[in-house]
Structure 1
Amino acid sequence: MTVELNHTIVPARDPRASAQFLADILGLRVEPPAAHFTPVRLANQVSLDYDQRDDFEPHHYAFMVSEQEFDAALARIQHGGITHYGDPACQQIGQIYHSKHTEGRKGTYFHDPDGHLMEILTPGGAGS
């Protein structure tokens, strides 16, 4: 059996709102609750299980998307007035990055309602 990531817990002050925020940006849907978790399932079947917490450290989550998905997500970010950045230090406001190491890769960062640093990026290279 190969090892695969099945799910990860995403701490959130309001799990439903935070899950819906990400689902809206990525063009996904929030699944029905599973126990006390609010899940968002990705195309590779990994589930982000939002769980209510009052105190937590923000995390970084990166999502590989196609060029078309990137453009659509970026449009939703911009239309929603969400600040995005061309760097993980969040200094390059309103920018996207272009990777120096992977030809054709681009991406951007933004914060979710709980302060988690989200990243969307394209695969780059031929066929991206």
Structure 2
Amino acid sequence: MSQAESPTGPTLDRVLETALYVADMAKARQFFESALGLSPFTADHRFTAYQVGPSVLLLFLEGGTLETVVLPDNGGTIPPHDGRGWVHMAFAIRHAELAAWESRLHAHGVEIEGRTRWPRGGESLYFRDPDGHLLELATPGVWPHY
């Protein structure tokens, strides 16, 4: 039985998307697109969506999703949501690219705030986005499954 399986019901496959809430969408997009090299696949005034491997990173403008969104053509609704404060998320990277990522961050003026060597052999670099969210680049060996 996998970790997400339950003997009494359906299973979860993986985390599909995660969200960060940002104060200035233009500033946040500049950081994620320039420093991290992400390309948006959809965006409007209140959000931007980036594909990151098999997952999606959503940037939402703080206070921009406080009302129900009604999708066109009977597409349904998205309930209100929002977030405040510094949150943490990690991006999976290959160990062989750790030095290249460190160089890229340095070239974009992004300060490495912390480094960790994990008991399973993984390594992590920690830095912040313009909104103060703690971002991590993590190599395999951080968790039992990664």
TM-score, length basis structure 1: 0.73
Which residue identity does 2:140 align to in structure 1? P
Q: Does 2:126 correspond to 1:98?
A: no
Query: 1:72 Cα deviation (Å)?
Result: 2.3
Question: How far apart are residue 97 of structure 1 and its match?
Answer: 2.4
Matched, 1:24 2:34: yes
Normalising by structure 2, what TM-score?
0.65
Q: CA deviation at 1:41?
A: 1.2
- Please give the residue correspondences for 1:107-126 in structure 2 after superposition, counting only pairs within 5 Å: 107-124=124-141
SS in structure 1 opposite 2:31?
Answer: helix
Across the aligned residues of Structure 1 and Structure 2, the Cα RMSD in angstroms comes to 2.6
1:66-105 correspondence to structure 2 within 5 Å: 66-86=94-114, 96-99=115-118, 101-103=119-121, 105=122
Structure 2 contact 21–59 (Cα < 8 Å) conserved: yes
Q: Structure 2: where are the runs of 5+ without partners?
A: 1-9, 64-82
SS of the counterpart of 2:43?
coil
Distance change in 2, residues 1:84/1:52 (3 Å): same
**Hey, which of these two has a bigger chunk of strand by percent?**
2
Q: Any gaps of 5 or more consecutive residues in structure 1?
A: 87-95
Give the corresponding residue for 1:53: 62
1:49-72 Cα offsets, whole Å, 9 max, x none, are 111116711100111100233222
Contact 1:58 1:115 survives alignment (8 Å):
yes
The alpha-carbon distance between structure 1 residues 68 and 108, as it changes in their structure 2 partners (threshold 3 A), is: same
Higher relative contact order (CA 8 A, sep 6+): 1
